[in-house]
Structures are given as C-alpha cells and as structure tokens.
Amino acid sequence: MKQPLFRQACELSFTQRTTGGNDYILEHELGDFLGRGILDLNADEVHGMFNLFDSDNDGKISKDAFDSCLRKNPLLIAHFLPCLLHKGFSSQKLVLERWRA
C-alpha cells in the first residue's frame, strides 16, 4: 500500500465492484466479478474469498476491510486485474512496483 500505483489499483478495484452508490461489496457482487476472470469458480470458492475480505463478518466488504485484506495479501490484487487493465493500468508496472516495496 506504500506504492502509489498499488494504492490506486486497490482504490479502483474497490470502486469498480461497488454498485448502486453503495460503499461496500456484497458476496454476490464479488462472485459476479471474480467469475469473469476465474473459470469454473464455484460458490464455496466465492464464499471463501468473501470471508477473507469480510473481516468483521457483517456480510459486506467495506473499503477499509478491502484495503486491509489486500495489505495482508497483496497478490490478491491479481484477481482484479481485468478491471484495472480495462482502465489503462499496466499489470507489469503494478507487479514491479509491488515487489519494489
């Protein structure tokens, strides 16, 4: 989270997943997004990923919980790369910047 590009990637990943002006992500929203990039993703896998992000177990992922999870597990950002690449982020820059930190 110390590198500007990584912070921007996390911010964009979160805002692209929230819908309807909500400031949180629901389990089905996370599953819908992840299912686009991960073939054969099943409900148990979505639930496991959701639980990893939903640290306070309130049934939704807040921005703070999202950022906290990515700080602890920075490689998870790779699951959000399709949205980032669509917005013009370079996956090579993101990976290189993260590993320099």
DSSP-derived 3-state class of residue 62: strand
**pLDDT exceeds 60 at position 71:** yes
- What is the structure's pLDDT at 100? 47
Confidence of residue 99 (pLDDT cuts 50, 70, 90): very low
Beta bridge partners of 25: 61
| pLDDT at 62 > cutoff 90 | yes
Q: How far apart are CA 67 and CA 61, in angstroms?
A: 10
CA distances, 10 to each of 3, 42, 43, 81 (Å):
11, 24, 24, 10
Is residue 34 pLDDT above 50, yes or no? yes
* pLDDT of amino acid 56: 93
Question: Does residue 21 or residue 24 have the better pLDDT?
Answer: 24
